[in-house]
């Protein structure tokens, strides 16, 4: 197992790993340390490659790669393949037809040193913007900002991965590190089954010691995602006894489907809303005498009358938790609530297979401390744990439980992701390329010494 030794000493003041991330305080216990000669060269090389990195982002953004635009995702993958081949990586396309998506890019650099640290770097090729969307092009807004579909989420993050590796390769600093780069084609709209869609991530993580994710996280360059909440969808189906509304509440007829649905949702709220870092949201509800729901379009319709007791109701929602333990406990509480039915009603709660949590661990905090030290040694700010409620689920969650350490939110910062106002903060580009390259260099050095 890979372990950090002589970790740059950032003091983490927390009572326990299960404490709220918002209560974690990281203070700089030592002054910044000078960059060694190789690290100084990395900074210079990143500066020399900055124009190319900007061009790479523009080229990728100008190719539509909405998750269901199979040809477009493959085209962005081909662009990344060419860039990674030029660095000397072995690159393969993992076909996604088995899970109804384009597929993934997997690039590998294998060190000749059998004891070299193994790092999995995760990005994604797809965006939320469909082929017929009118938001299609990269636009340079100013010296410090650019807009475009996926410019921050996450074609900018993919570029940070490739630019950092390009700098290290140019300086011959990849000898003592083995790296797999996995750029998935379905992060924004995952293929099904997830067991196939996410298998490449799991396989890469089982191989690796460390996983690094290049999503933009909470879009704060001074934070890193040491934890991410998982995502699970749920469906609540409720049935009642139809009758004239004048008979509601009596022993022969009961309460109907809508009252039972209201009872369940209110009990979810009252029993679970104070659970830290847990959220559950009913995003869609339909009810009446008869209902119809189109799962592909996530839309539905209902027929009913005010003088008829509702026979059916359906609710679609999500559940987000910070650990598997918290997720399991919440599911059990919700199922217990669903079972305690009002008279003459029935209900079932079905949980979908979802994204697992990336739990907060000491290994993740150690890796964040290293990354923060790199940032400070470069003359930038300390990097603290991000609040996991400020970012959604991500592919790294499928890797986190299989590696010693994981960290996400290392990509290109910005704002307005998933909207036509998506904007990248270009001042974060060189900073996060530098930090990524020097972090990899230091991790390789530490393992070599160990």
Query: Three-class SS string for 321-345?
Result: ECCHHHHHHHHHHHHHHHHCCCCCC
Q: What is the mean pLDDT of residues 397-410?
A: 97
- Both 399 and 320 in one domain: the answer is no
Domain end among 351, 376, 405: 351
Q: Is 251 exposed, middle or buried (0-12, 13-18, 19+ CB in 10 A)?
A: exposed
Q: Residue 428 pLDDT more than 60?
A: yes
Burial class (CB in 10 A: 0-12, 13-18, 19+), 404: middle
Considering the domain architecture, whether residues 34 and 150 belong to the same structural domain is answered as yes
The number of distinct structural domains making up the chain is 2
Residue 35 lies in a domain: yes
Task: Tell how strand 210-213 and strand 405-407 pair up.
Answer: parallel
> For the residues 279-287, what does the mean pLDDT come to?
97
Q: Check if the beta carbon of residue 152 is closer than 8 Å to that of residue 417.
A: yes
User: 86-115: per-residue pLDDT in tens?
Assistant: 999 999 999 999 999 999 999 999 999 999
| pLDDT > 70 in the chain, percent | 92
Q: Let me know if residue 2 belongs to a domain.
A: no
Closest CA to 418 of 221, 126, 184, 223: 126
User: What is the pLDDT at residue 448?
Assistant: 65
Q: State the CATH number of the domain containing residue 434.
A: 3.40.630.10
pLDDT of residue 8: 39
Strands 312-321 and 279-288: antiparallel
DSSP annotation of 188 = S
Asked if residue 370 has pLDDT above 50, the reply is: yes
Q: What is the pLDDT of residue 298?
A: 86
Are 306 and 245 in the same domain? yes
Do 106 and 40 belong together in one domain? yes
Structural domain of residue 220, as residue ranges?
10-228+358-449
Residue 283 has pLDDT above 70, yes or no: yes
Contact 344, 253 (CB under 8 A): yes
Is 1 contained in some domain? no
Q: Are residues 208 and 245 in the same domain?
A: no
Average pLDDT over residues 169-178: 97
Residue 3: inside a domain, yes or no?
no
CB 50 within 8 A of CB 162: no
**Domain at 334, CATH number:** 3.30.70.360
Phi, psi of 293 (to 5 degrees): -130, 130
Within this chain, do residues 222 and 83 fall inside the same structural domain, yes or no? yes
* Domain-embedded: residue 18: yes
Report d(CA 384, CA 21) in Å as an integer. 9
Boundary (domain end) residue, out of 351, 370, 396: 351
Residue 39 lies in a domain: yes
Q: Are residues 338 and 416 in the same domain?
A: no
Q: What residue has token string 């189109």?
A: 294
Interval 115-171: pLDDT, tens:
999 999 999 999 999 999 999 999 999 999 999 999 999 999 999 999 999 999 999
Could you tell me which residues come within 8 angstroms of residue 325 by beta carbon, excluding any fewer than 6 positions away? Answer: none
What is the arithmetic mean of pLDDT over 186-193? 95
| Residues 386-400, mean pLDDT to the nearest whole number | 92
**260 and 174 belong to one structural domain:** no
CB contact at 8 A, 257 and 243: no
| 40-57 tens-digit pLDDT | 999 999 999 999 999 999
d(CA 172, CA 6): 25
Q: Same domain for 48 and 145?
A: yes
Quote the pLDDT of residue 439.
98
pLDDT band, residue 4 (cuts 50/70/90): very low
Q: Is 226 exposed, middle or buried (0-12, 13-18, 19+ CB in 10 A)?
A: buried
Give the pLDDT mean for 274-283.
96
Q: Is residue 5 part of a domain?
A: no
**Residues 205, 236: one domain?**
no
* The pLDDT of residue 28: 41
> Does any domain span residue 376?
yes
Domain stops at, among 351, 373, 391 = 351
Average pLDDT, the chain: 93
The per-residue pLDDT for 447 is 74
Q: Is 207 found in the same domain as 189?
A: yes
pLDDT attached to residue 289: 97
Higher pLDDT, residue 425 or 16: 425
Residues 190 and 256 in one domain: no
Kindly state the average pLDDT of the residues 299-328.
96
């Amino acid at each position: 197992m890979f372990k950090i030794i002589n970790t740059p000493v950032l003091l983490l003041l927390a009572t326990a790993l299960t404490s709220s991330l918002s209560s974690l305080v990281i203070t700089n216990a030592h002054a910044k340390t000078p960059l060694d000669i190789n690290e100084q060269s990395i900074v210079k090389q990143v500066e020399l490659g900055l124009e190319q990195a900007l061009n790479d982002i523009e080229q990728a953004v100008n190719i539509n790669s909405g998750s269901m635009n199979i040809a477009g995702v493959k085209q962005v993958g081909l662009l990344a393949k060419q860039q990674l081949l030029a660095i000397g990586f072995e690159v393969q396309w993992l076909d996604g037809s088995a899970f109804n998506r384009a597929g993934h890019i997997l690039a590998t650099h294998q060190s000749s040193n059998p004891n070299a640290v193994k790092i999995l770097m995760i990005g994604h090729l797809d965006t939320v913007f469909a082929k017929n969307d009118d938001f299609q092009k990269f636009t340079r807004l100013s010296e410090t900002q650019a807009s475009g579909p996926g410019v921050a989420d996450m074609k900018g993050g993919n570029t940070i991965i490739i630019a950092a590796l390009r700098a290290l390769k140019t300086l011959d600093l990849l000898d003592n590190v083995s790296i797999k780069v996995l750029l998935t084609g379905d992060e924004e709209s995952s293929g099904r089954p997830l067991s196939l869609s996410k298998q490449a991530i799991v396989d890469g993580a089982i191989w690796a010691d460390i996983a690094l994710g290049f999503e933009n996280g909470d879009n704060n360059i001074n934070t890193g995602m040491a934890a991410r909440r998982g995502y699970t969808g749920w469906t609540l189906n409720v049935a009642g006894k139809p009758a004239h509304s004048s008979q509601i509440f009596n022993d022969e007829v009961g309460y109907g489907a809508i009252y039972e649905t209201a009872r369940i949702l209110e009990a979810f709220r009252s029993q679970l809303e104070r659970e830290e870092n847990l959220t559950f949201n009913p995003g869609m509800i339909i009810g009446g005498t008869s209902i119809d729901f189109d799962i592909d379009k996530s839309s539905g319709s209902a027929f009913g009358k005010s003088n008829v007791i509702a026979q059916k109701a359906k609710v679609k929602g999500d559940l987000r938790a910070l650990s598997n333990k918290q997720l399991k406990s919440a599911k059990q509480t919700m199922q217990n609530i669903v079972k305690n039915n009002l008279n003459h009603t029935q209900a079932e709660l079905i949980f979908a297979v979802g994204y697992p949590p990336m739990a907060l661990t000491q290994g993740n905090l150690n890796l964040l401390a290293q990354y923060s030290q790199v940032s400070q040694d470069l003359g930038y700010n300390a990097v603290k744990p991000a609040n996991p409620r400020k970012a959604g689920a991500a592919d790294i969650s499928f890797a986190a439980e299989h590696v010693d350490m994981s960290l996400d939110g290392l990509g290109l910062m910005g704002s307005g992701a998933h909207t036509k106002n998506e904007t990248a903060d270009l001042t974060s580009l060189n900073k996060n390329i530098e930090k990524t390259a020097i972090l990899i260099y230091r991790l390789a050095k530490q393992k070599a010494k160990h």
